[in-house]
């Protein structure tokens, strides 16, 4: 990963993008892809699409990631100036209390999610309150002062900064899934640099965390796409607090994860594995017996069925403010996407042989 590519990743991770409020992050993404895409466009809800125009008789493949992150939303301003919040997506009530947060009002406002000091609690009665029972303290003395700074419906995110860990590993909030949008953009750039025959879209979708909504829009609007590759994070289960029954084969630093089963089209699975072997990219396998939990679940049923594949980035501590990935895995995902795009013309049409 060179310096401009790393700067792009850092910019994405520094830009808050809770579901339904992705505009700032999408601007970062579209500014980057304009440097090498033949065309860049957005739709009414902010899904962003860039394209490399290939040969007219070659297949069209879309490389996608979702721009949104989990967070909170202001649902009430209390008389004493505290803010009640609700979830945006799958926010974890066990990690929220005692955290610094930013309320993304007209002007950003800093706050904390309150946690009563251990000295004032009965430890025998400790429990994790639901998000709806937690509150943000922005320092306001009363509701009147609070409403001078925030209003109901303002989104809220953790204020965690990106941190460099040992080696190639980083920690940040919102890696799920700005890392995926980074990979989609970089996959497109590398495919364009290789002048692949296929037409290649890179797509940064919105509102995945609240029901794959952006993917549902894109799956219909991009009616010329022959195959979708959805890039998201998946659980790396190599940390010591993962229960043995939940431990799987996915490790940080061992390469991209190709998913088999469910939405994952077997021809695309084979294409990805062959492209990885030819490109000397180590991959891991993961099973999805029912659903992937990613945008692939929306893409593959669009327009009567579009071959789709889920490729993942190993991620520790998902849906916390301290998600951890290995940037070597991320870079390898972009290489794999470009290799899939380059080999697509030799594999299409993407259909099972019945």
Q: Is the pLDDT of residue 112 over 90?
A: yes
List the domains of the chain with CATH numbers: 3-69+173-347 (3.40.630.10), 71-158 (2.40.30.40)
Entry pTM:
0.96
So what's the pLDDT on residue 244?
Answer: 66
State the pLDDT at residue 327.
98
**Over the chain, what is the mean pLDDT?**
96
- Distances in Å between the Cα of 71 and the Cα atoms of 22, 41, 128 are 12, 26, 17
Q: How is residue 158 written in tokens? A: 């953790």
Is 39 part of any known ligand binding site?
no
Q: Interhelix angle for 266-278 vs 327-347, to 10°? A: 110
Return the percentage of the chain with pLDDT > 90, whole number: 92
Flag whether 104 is marked binding.
no
Burial of 261 per CB tally in 10 Å (0-12, 13-18, 19+) = middle
Q: Given this model, what pLDDT does residue 249 score?
A: 86
> Which stretch of 40-49, 125-134, 248-257 has the lowest confidence by average pLDDT?
125-134
Q: Which of 194, 217, 186, 169 is nearest to 327 (CA)?
A: 169
Q: Compute the average pLDDT of residues 86-113.
A: 97
From the number of C-beta atoms within 10 Å of its C-beta (0-12, 13-18, 19+), residue 68 rates as: buried
Q: What is the Cα 169 distance to its own chain's centre?
A: 17
Catalytic residues: 208
Q: How many CB atoms lie within 10 A of CB 224?
A: 9
Express as a percent the part of the chain with pLDDT over 70. 99
Six-digit token string for 327: 């940037």
At 321 the pLDDT is 97
Segment 237-249, tens digit of pLDDT: 999 988 767 767 8
Q: Is 232 annotated as a binding residue?
A: yes
Residue 349, class by beta-carbon neighbours within 10 Å (0-12 exposed, 13-18 middle, 19+ buried)?
exposed
- Least confident interval from 6-10, 38-42, 161-165, 237-241: 237-241
**309, pLDDT greater than 90:** yes
pLDDT the model gives residue 166: 98
Exposure class string for 77-116: b at 16+ Cβ within 10 A, else e: beeebbbbbebbbebeeebbbebebbbbbeeebebbbeee
| Structure confidence at residue 281 (pLDDT) | 98
pLDDT tens digits for range 117-171: 988 888 777 788 999 999 999 999 999 999 999 999 999 999 999 999 999 999 9
Residue 89: band (very low, low, confident or very high) from pLDDT cuts 50, 70, 90: very high
């Amino acid at each position: 990963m060179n310096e401009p590519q790393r700067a792009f990743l850092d910019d994405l991770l520094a830009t808050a993008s809770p579901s339904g409020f992705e505009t700032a992050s999408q601007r970062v993404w579209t500014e980057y892809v304009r440097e090498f895409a033949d065309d860049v466009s957005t739709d009414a809800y902010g899904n962003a699409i860039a394209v490399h125009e290939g040969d007219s008789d070659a297949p069209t493949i879309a490389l996608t990631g979702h721009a949104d992150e989990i967070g909170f939303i202001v649902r009430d301003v209390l008389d004493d100036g505290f803010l009640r919040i609700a979830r945006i997506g799958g926010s974890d009530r066990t990690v929220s209390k005692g955290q610094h947060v930013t309320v993304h009002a007209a002007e950003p406002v800093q706050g904390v999610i309150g946690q009563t000091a251990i000295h004032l609690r009965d430890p025998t009665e400790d429990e994790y309150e639901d998000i709806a029972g937690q509150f943000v303290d922005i320092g306001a003395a009363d509701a009147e002062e609070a409403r001078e700074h925030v209003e109901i419906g303002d989104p809220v995110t953790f204020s965690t900064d990106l941190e460099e860990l040992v080696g190639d590993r980083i920690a940040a909030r919102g890696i799920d899934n700005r890392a995926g949008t980074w990979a989609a953009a970089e996959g497109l750039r590398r495919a364009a640099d290789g002048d692949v025959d296929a037409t290649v879209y890179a797509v940064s979708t919105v509102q995945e965390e609240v029901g794959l909504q952006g993917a549902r829009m894109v799956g219909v609007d991009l009616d010329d796409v022959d195959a979708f590759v959805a890039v998201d994070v998946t659980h790396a289960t190599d940390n010591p607090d993962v229960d043995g029954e939940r431990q799987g084969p996915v490790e940080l630093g061992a390469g991209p994860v190709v998913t088999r089963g469910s939405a994952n089209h077997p021809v695309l699975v084979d294409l990805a594995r062959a492209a990885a072997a030819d490109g000397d990219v180590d991959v891991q396998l993961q099973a999805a017996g029912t659903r992937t939990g990613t945008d692939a679940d929306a893409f593959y049923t669009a327009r009567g069925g579009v071959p789709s594949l889920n490729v993942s980035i190993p991620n520790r501590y998902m849906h916390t403010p301290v998600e951890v990935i290995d940037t070597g895995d991320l870079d390898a995902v972009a290489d794999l996407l470009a290799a899939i795009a380059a080999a697509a013309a030799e594999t299409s049409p993407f259909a099972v042989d019945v």
